[in-house]
Amino acid sequence: MTDRTAALPNADDIVWDLPGEGPQRTALLVLPHAGGNAHAYAEWRAHLPQDVRLLIGQYPGRGARFAEDLPLTVADLAGPVAAALPADLDEDLVVLGHSMGSLVAFEVVRLLTAAGRAPRSLVASACRAPFLENPSAVYPERLDDDQLVAAIKERGGTDDGILDEPELREIIIPSIRADFAIDDVYRCPVEEARVDCPVTVIGGDADPVVPAAALDRWAEITEAGFAAHVLPGGHFYFQQQLPGFFALLGSVLDGGARPAPGVPAALAA
C-alpha cells in the first residue's frame, strides 16, 4: 500500500513562481488540465504584462514531483498547491484552471478562502460547473495505452510527438490515467459548490468536451458577479486564439467591469 501521508516536496516544485520585471500588482495562479504540467503553461509568461506574477501548479507524478504517488482525488491536486503558495504573496490573486484544472482551481479557491486568503477572482476555462456530472468521461481504466492516446489526441492540447514516442509515452501515461480517473468522477455537492469571489468562464464554440451552452452554469456558484465568453475553437481554443484569450484574461487581471452580482452575462461570440 502506498503511503499518501509522506512529507510534501519543496514548495517551489509544487508551485512555479515566474514573476515579471519590476513591482508586481497582481498574481495569476494557473492550474493545468488533465495530463498537463507546469511546462505547458510557462510560455504564458511572455503573453502577460510584466507587473503580473505568474504562478503555475505542478501536479504529482510529473516534473520534479515525478517520484511522488499519483493523485487519487482532486484534493491530492488542490491541497498541496494551496499550501505551497508563496508566503510573500502580497499581490491580489486570480486563480485560473483549464479543463480539469478548473475544478482544481475551484477547490483551491475554497481552501484559500477558508484559510483567510480569499482570491480576488476565479477563471474557469473549458470545464463543466463543479456540481455537474462529467458529460465526457474518458474511463481510462477501460482503455489500453493506444486507446487512451487516441482519446487524448482527439481532445488536443498534447504534443503528438510525445504521445508517439514509446519511451516518453511510458513516462506520461500513468499521470494522464490518474488525472482522467479523477476528472471522470469529481462532483461537488450542489449545496457546497459556492465561492465568494467573481467568476469568469471561457470556452470554445466547437468544444466537443464541454459545449459552450453549458458554460453559464458556473453562474450558480457565486453571487459576486459572473461573466461568460466563447471564443472560436475546440477544447484547447486558446492555442489558436492567444490575442483574444489574453485580452479577456487581461480584463479580469485589471479588475475590469463586471456584471451586477448574480446576473449572468450573455455568452459573447
Positions annotated as catalytic residues are 99, 235
Residue 92 and residue 122 in contact, taking contact as beta carbons nearer than 8 Å: no
Q: Which residue has the cell 516544485?
A: 13
Per-residue exposure over 236-245, b if at least 16 CB sit within 10 Å of its own CB, e if not: bbbeebeebb
What is the DSSP secondary structure assignment for residue 48, as one 8-state letter?
Answer: S
CA distance 105 to 236: 17
Q: Which amino acid is at 57?
A: G
DSSP track, 70-139:
PP-SHHHHHHHHHHHS-TT--SEEEEEEETHHHHHHHHHHHHHHHTT---SEEEEES---TTSPPTT---
